[in-house]
Amino acid sequence: MIRFLQTEGPVKKVILSGLLLLICGAMVIAFVPGGLGSELSGTPGKGIVAKVGGTDITVEQVKDTARQMAQQQAQQYGQNASMLMPFLIQQDTPRAADQLIDRQALLTEAQRMGLKATPQEVKDELQHGRYASIFFPDGNFIGEAEYNGMLQRANLTPAMFEENVGKEIQVAKLQALITGSASVSDAAIHQEFSKQNTKVKFEYAVVKEDDIKKGLHPTTEELKAYYDSHLKNYANSIPEKRKIKYAVMDSSKIQSGVQVTHDELQAYYNQHRDEYRVAEQAKVSHILIKTPLPGPDGKVDEKGVTEAQHRAEDLLKQIKSGAKFEDLAKKYSEDPGSAKEGGSLGWIGKGRTVPEFEKAAFSLPKGQISDLVKSSYGFHIIRVDDRQEAHMKTLEEVKDQIEPILKQQKTQQIAQKQAEDLLQQAKTQGLDSAKGVSVITSDFFTRKDLVPGLGPAPQFMDAVFTASEKSPPAMAATSQGFAVFQLLGVRPPSTPTFEEIRSKLEEQFKNERANVLLSQKVQELSDRAKSEHDLKKAAKELGAEVKTSDFVLPDGQVPDIGSMTGQAAVAFTMKPGDISGPINSGTNGAVLSILEVQAPTDADFAAKQDQIRDALLQGKQQELFGLFITNLRDQMEKSGKIKVNQEELKSLTRAGSEPGL
């Protein structure tokens, strides 16, 4: 089906983007079935999380979805992302399973209702939907070869990808059908506008938890009583620790002495020849004068075509008379992507452009300029700047790519062999008998600690913390190579004594006590202010600081109170002179007294009503569709069209934090 895309735009090389991999990866997970169940009513078997309308949702699909969701979340954590990934994956696994079940249920319902996606609709989605920036940058198709290559790298064939785009369209049609009845009244729009744009100004008295904590000085007896009452919270809070003796085979040190022979390079090159084939390419520039597109009746304005031809002929005449091609391209070419580059399209391969353009580009000699070439875009003047015949890169050209690969392979083999030899020696003669390596005895450490000389080493830690006492020496991979270790001792989890955590107890005691006293003091402040009808007087009596806010909107921030979307939002329901109840803003407490309320103007409403209507309508549509999904799942589960394998789901959730999920 992709053939029809070739005639839709000039060539422009596009590098595979992470966005495409993400979209295609999600598509594979969401719509490529794990296999059809043998019977619709059958219970999901091992490796199957759910059956939806006869289609299996597999464990691997859920894992892949959870991993993708976690990777998206992890982007905000920067350097800490890798450490948080296991936690994020575990957190996202149940949501991933629900997402896949919902998606397949919606597709099943769309197909039951007879909703279809035509080839033209799939074409329009690729050209103008969320894939347009990938396959049609600046409106120009990237070419069939690049298109196929992108999909192949995302583990999709064109037929599979286009079928799945069709499934997305089916689900979108179902969503449009369900949400089409959503509407928003003018009264609701005005009410939401007033809610969002009313401003308030107020006095507020602040009580700070830190000030209360400064006056707390718990006695030893109080802290011991606190320790005893919270002992269950500290039970086994000191994690298991282990002590080992170990020797490291450091790959980086081994690699410095590794040499790669010419014969090894030649053998690798011979085995991977297909990776070094270069297709025929031409480096081309062009000037494009566009012709009019067909009208609604399918007819083309022939007068406009003739005018475009005359303009192109005039440019070709100027070039033949000595005008500089690049200057004319920058000034007159109607292909914006290449015009600013003096018409240059760079290197192109066959299958990347419309047939007429390709025929001219690959038949002209280097340095020659074509006559006018007409395509579905208009008239082209093409210049071949260079050409490269199809060929195989020589070993000399790719040697620098191959050598690091072979070095790494040989280094790993040597490090593993040295570790295996050391392990056998350690089993018979003890680890201390090792020669040529440094044997280190560690202190006791937890699973989360870093062992000197190893850095982060999850596989090694797993091996150490699953080994039994008095077990023989063992070997495990590390981030830098391999290590051989002998378990020397185990300290099981334990409960800390009072003295060991006294400082921590004191801090926790103060925090809890200060929080209680803060609530009591702010409540007293509110009660007094309301009784005396005077916030300033009550604040002075209790030693609280009084401040005055600026005019603030519902989404604003106020010093010492923070966001007005929390408990402080009560200010927008009050009248001038009203005094609030206690407002908790984290480590501070406050009481407000409204000074002035400023309503928005009709002019403001006129400027914002369309924006608010759209936001309310979108929210209503999401609410309707969410309710539809909930009801659909409920009905399909009751009728046996959805069957969830709870054992597999529980197993997945437990395994979510394990390395390698």
Question: Are residue 478 and residue 347 in the same domain, yes or no?
Answer: no
Q: How confident is the model at residue 659 (pLDDT cuts 50, 70, 90)?
A: very low
Q: Report pLDDT digits (tens) over 195-211.
A: 999 999 999 999 999 99
Q: Does the pLDDT value for residue 40 go beyond 50? A: no
Q: For the residues 258-271, what does the mean pLDDT come to?
A: 89
Note whether residue 194 is domain-resident: no
Statement to judge: residues 87 and 127 lie in one domain: yes
Q: Where are the alpha helices (DSSP H) in 118-234?
A: 119-128, 132-135, 144-153, 158-179, 186-197, 209-214, 220-229, 231-234
Residue 527 pLDDT exceeds 90: yes
Distance (Å, whole) CA 329 – CA 335: 9
* Cβ proximity of 289 and 312 under 8 Å: yes
CA distance 527 to 250: 70
pLDDT of the residue at 29: 46
Query: Are residues 457 and 581 both part of a single domain?
Result: no
Q: What is the mean pLDDT of residues 502-525?
A: 95
Number of domains in the chain: 4
* Residue after which a domain boundary falls, among 491, 524, 552: 491
Mean pLDDT calculated for residue range 551-561: 95
| Pair 67, 154 in one domain | yes
Q: In the predicted model, is pLDDT for residue 8 greater than 70?
A: no
Q: Which H or E run includes 471?
A: none
Q: Is residue 271 part of a domain?
A: no
Do the beta carbons of residue 68 and residue 56 sit within 8 Å?
A: no
Q: Give the pLDDT confidence score for residue 293 in this predicted structure.
A: 77
Q: What is the mean pLDDT of residues 265-278?
A: 87
Instruction: Give me the mean pLDDT over the 459-478 stretch.
Output: 92
Asked, for residue 430, whether it belongs to a domain, the answer is: yes
For 77, 110, 179, 194, the CA distances from 129, given in Å and listed in that order, are 30, 20, 20, 36
For the cut 70, the answer to whether the pLDDT of residue 414 exceeds it is yes
Whether 419 and 506 share a structural domain: no
Residue 650 maps to a domain: yes
Region 90-95 average pLDDT: 80
- List pLDDT tens digits, range 227-245: 999 999 999 999 999 999 9
Domain boundary residue among 339, 356, 389?
A: 389
Residues 29 and 142 in one domain: yes
Q: Do 152 and 26 reside in the same domain of the chain?
A: yes
Q: Are residues 17 and 157 in the same domain?
A: yes
Inform me whether the pLDDT recorded for 35 exceeds 60: no
Give domain status of residue 269, yes or no. Answer: no
pLDDT on residue 17:
38
**Does a structural domain hold residue 222?**
no
Tell me: pLDDT of 119 over 70.
yes
Does residue 605 form part of some domain? no
Please give the mean pLDDT across all residues of the chain: 85
Range of the domain at 205: 199-213+501-598
Q: Give the model's pLDDT for residue 138.
A: 79
3-state SS, 40-89, equals CCCCCCCCEEEEECCEEEEHHHHHHHHHHHHHHHHHHHHHHHHHHHHHHH
> Is residue 607 included in any domain, yes or no?
no
* pLDDT tens digit sequence for 152-192: 877 778 888 888 899 999 999 999 999 988 899 999 999 99
**Is residue 12 scored above 50 in pLDDT?**
no
